[in-house]
Amino acid sequence: MDPTKFAMNWTYQESLNDTEEMFMTYSKKKGMVPLRSDRFGERVMFAGNLDKNDLSITLSDVQLEDEGVYNCYVRNPPDRIQGHGFIQLNVVTELPPPRDSTIAVAIGASVGGALALLILSMVVVKCLRRHRKQELISEEKMEEEGKLEAEGVAEEGTKQP
């Protein structure tokens, strides 16, 4: 990096606004310079390391009004493309309530148990129907065999006179 040609700006943009407010820049003589800002005051500091190409900043005492887009624009000749990075900061005023997973587990187990019982009952009904059908078939076979034997006995009885 050539410090005489290097340029860098950090800007802030409200979420619903297109206007960007510059709050930090790089000066060839002074290095990283935080600009006076009513919004941030003394809460913004350069936290990076130029020798390692780290242009990080630290915003302390984050407030609800700090929510928005933070842009970092970099020009580092002989690079032809200007670098642009951004961070969308969402400020949350309170932690979301913890989720109670025991309710979800209980509901899941209940639904799973009900489905298992339903499938088990369907299998039992299917087995009972198959068993009854086999009994009917074997009864019909026995009746037919009985009729045939009875006819055979009747035929033998008519032949003897």
Q: How far apart are CA 33 and CA 38, in angstroms?
A: 16
Is the domain of 78 the same as that of 18? yes
Per-residue pLDDT of the chain (161 residues; tens, 9 = 90+): 676 778 888 989 987 788 888 888 887 778 788 888 888 888 888 898 888 888 888 999 998 889 999 999 988 877 766 788 888 998 888 877 777 778 888 888 999 999 999 999 999 999 998 888 888 888 777 777 776 666 665 556 555 55
Question: 13: which strand partners?
Answer: 20, 69
* 96 within some domain: no
**Residue range(s) defining the domain that contains residue 127:** 104-149
Is the domain of 64 the same as that of 114? no
* 38 within some domain: yes
Is the domain of 66 the same as that of 14? yes
Is the domain of 79 the same as that of 139? no
Is the domain of 77 the same as that of 109? no
Is the domain of 85 the same as that of 116? no
Please answer whether residues 44 and 58 qualify as being in contact, where contact means their C-beta atoms are separated by less than 8 angstroms.
yes
* 58 within some domain: yes
- pTM for the predicted model, two decimal places: 0.54
Domain count, the chain: 2
Last residue of a domain, one of 89, 115, 137: 89
